[in-house]
Amino acid sequence: MEGFVHDAVRFWTDLTGRAEGPMTFRFVLQPTMALLMAIRDGFKDAKIGRAPYFWTIVNDAHRRRASLDEGIEATARILALGLVMEIIYQYRVFGTFHVLEAVNFILLLCFIPYLVMRGPINRLAHWWMQRRHTNA
């Protein structure tokens, strides 16, 4: 139990410590890239009349896996870039690599923004397209 507590404290300290020091630009770069992919895919969803992304994942058991796979595929380059940046950061700062920390941090910076923003962008794009259509 003591080892687990030590690992949990180290994990939390390492995660919160990333806000300072080298490579802090990734706190802006990675979520921005994820947002750009969410904009692209949200507009595509609106054009074909697809339900909001997160709503589909939560409420449609038949499409859940396909939707998650689609999101991972859409953000694969961002996830890969995030992994490379995390490996460099960890070796530079800690002198070692912690896989769980890397996975959590990459998901937090790269995939979660995509997951959260794609649906609202779909709704805004749908509203905008409807408005353009009625004004034309």
Question: What pLDDT score does 36 carry?
Answer: 93
Greater confidence, 92 or 17? 92
Return the exposure string of 5-21: e unless at least 16 CB atoms fall within 10 Å of the residue's CB, then b: eeeeeeeeeeeeebeee
**Whether pLDDT at 123 is above 90:** yes
- Domain segments of the chain: what residues? 27-135
Nearest-angstrom CA–CA distance, 114 and 78? 10
- Ranked by mean pLDDT, the top range of 6-15, 99-108, 115-124 is 115-124
pLDDT band for position 127 (50/70/90)? very high
**Whether pLDDT at 11 is above 80:** no
Total-model pTM:
0.78
**Whether pLDDT at 41 is above 90:** yes
pLDDT band for position 15 (50/70/90)? low
**Whether pLDDT at 53 is above 90:** no
Q: Where are the alpha helices (DSSP H) in the chain?
A: 2-17, 26-48, 53-59, 64-74, 76-93, 99-106, 112-135
Question: What pLDDT score does 16 carry?
Answer: 66
